[in-house]
Every structure is written in structure tokens, then in C-alpha cells.
């Protein structure tokens, strides 16, 4: 694993964010931004399925004992990354299809979403929205046992409601 970051050096990461390449960062940074906004201790690193298979397995195998409660995994080209991680851990995996060079991420989406029965990967939209929503889903999961976090999530939703209510059409 080439690099790991944590927004709070004193806290054990509870959400892991992995991506197949630094070229996925433009998309995956939107997951990290949401986790930071909610103050969730997290780590982010490159774990390439086809270039670092041993590290990928080690990451997945140690995820639970290291305290991770969710893993957000984004990939474009080698989009089996989320599924392979899910195969090696019972920590919930949130898959983000990153737009690929030739097929705009539709290939990544289908690869991630079509997991055979028995090993789930919760799959999100292609690109930025998917990355942000994967983080929000992970936060919603944590919020089921954290009332303070739940309240922050409700506030976050209410702000969006207000923005929509304040919208004006150029009529």
C-alpha cells in the first residue's frame, strides 16, 4: 500500500477509502471530503488490484481487526477491486465506479454491481456523485449506533431541502 492518510491522527480509522490508482483521486476525493466534513476518522490509500494483489488481500484481511467498519473502494480499469476486497472481509464494501478512459465507467459500473449472490458490494453511481454517496451511506451506517452523527446527517439533509425550496426558475 503506497500511502495512507488519516484526517485525525489520534483516532483509529473507521472507514477505509481505497482506489486502484492515484488517477482515481479526482473522483474519490469527493468521498474523502464528505468523511472529513462529518469528522469521520478515515484512511485513504491506493490499493491496485492488478498491480498490488498481495497488498489488496492484506488490506482486506486485516480491515476488521484494524477497526474499519466500512470500506469505500473505487476503481475504473481493474474494477474487480471492490469485489475482491469484499471476498476477503465481512466489513461492508461500498463500490464506486470510476469513469474509465474508453467506456466512461459503464464497464466499471457493471463489473462492480454484478456481484454473484453471496458476496455483496453496495454499488453507487459512476463518478463524483457515487463517491460522495458512498461516503454518505457509510456515515448513515455508522449513524445507526451514533445519535450525534445521526443528528448531523439529518441537518445535512435539511440543508439540501432548504436549497431546493429556495430555487427559482428563470420564468
Q: Which stretch binds ligand RP5 (CB under 6 A): 53-61, 70-78, 110-118, 125-133?
A: 70-78
Q: Which stretch binds ligand RP5 (CB under 6 A): 5-13, 75-83, 85-93, 141-149?
A: 75-83
Residue whose CB is less far from ligand RP5, 1 or 78: 78
Binding of residue 78 to ligand RP5 (CB under 6 A): yes
Binding of residue 43 to ligand RP5 (CB under 6 A): no
Binding of residue 21 to ligand RP5 (CB under 6 A): yes
Binding of residue 23 to ligand RP5 (CB under 6 A): yes
Whether the CB-CB separation of 59 and 2 falls below 8 Å is answered with no
Binding of residue 133 to ligand RP5 (CB under 6 A): no
Q: Which stretch binds ligand RP5 (CB under 6 A): 18-26, 113-121, 146-154, 159-167?
A: 18-26
Residue whose CB is less far from ligand RP5, 72 or 149: 72
E strand intervals along the chain? 5-6, 15-19, 42-46, 70-75, 93-97, 122-123
Put the strands of the sheet holding 15-19 in their side by side order: 5-6, 42-46, 15-19, 70-75, 93-97, 122-123
CA–CA dist 116, 96 (Å, integer): 17
- Select the residue interacting with ligand RP5 from 13, 16, 70, 77 (CB under 6 A): 77
Binding of residue 18 to ligand RP5 (CB under 6 A): no
Task: Kindly list the distances between the CA atom of residue 30 and the CA atoms of 15, 17, 135, in Å, as whole numbers in the listed order.
Answer: 14, 11, 8
CA–CA dist 61, 8 (Å, integer): 23
CA–CA dist 4, 161 (Å, integer): 35
Place of cell 471476498: 87
Which residues of the chain form contacts with ligand RP5 (CB under 6 A)?
19-21, 23-24, 48, 75-78, 98
Amino acid at each position: 500500500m503506497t500511502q495512507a492518510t488519516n484526517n485525525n491522527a489520534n483516532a483509529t480509522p473507521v472507514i477505509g477509502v481505497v482506489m486502484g490508482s492515484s488517477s482515481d483521486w479526482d473522483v474519490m476525493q469527493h468521498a474523502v471530503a464528505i468523511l472529513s466534513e462529518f469528522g469521520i476518522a478515515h484512511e485513504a490509500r491506493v490499493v491496485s488490484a492488478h498491480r498490488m494483489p498481495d497488498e489488496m488481500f492484506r488490506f482486506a484481511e486485516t480491515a476488521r481487526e484494524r477497526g474499519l467498519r466500512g470500506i469505500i473502494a473505487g476503481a475504473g480499469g481493474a474494477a474487480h477491486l471492490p469485489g475482491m476486497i469484499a471476498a476477503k472481509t465481512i466489513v461492508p464494501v461500498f463500490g464506486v465506479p470510476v469513469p474509465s478512459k474508453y467506456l466512461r465507467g459503464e464497464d466499471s459500473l457493471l463489473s462492480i454491481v454484478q456481484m454473484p449472490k453471496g458476496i455483496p458490494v453496495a454499488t453507487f453511481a459512476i463518478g463524483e456523485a457515487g463517491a460522495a454517496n458512498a461516503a454518505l451511506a457509510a456515515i448513515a451506517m455508522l449513524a445507526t449506533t451514533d445519535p450525534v452523527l445521526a443528528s448531523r446527517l439529518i441537518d445535512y439533509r435539511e440543508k439540501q431541502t432548504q436549497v431546493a425550496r429556495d430555487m427559482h426558475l428563470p420564468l
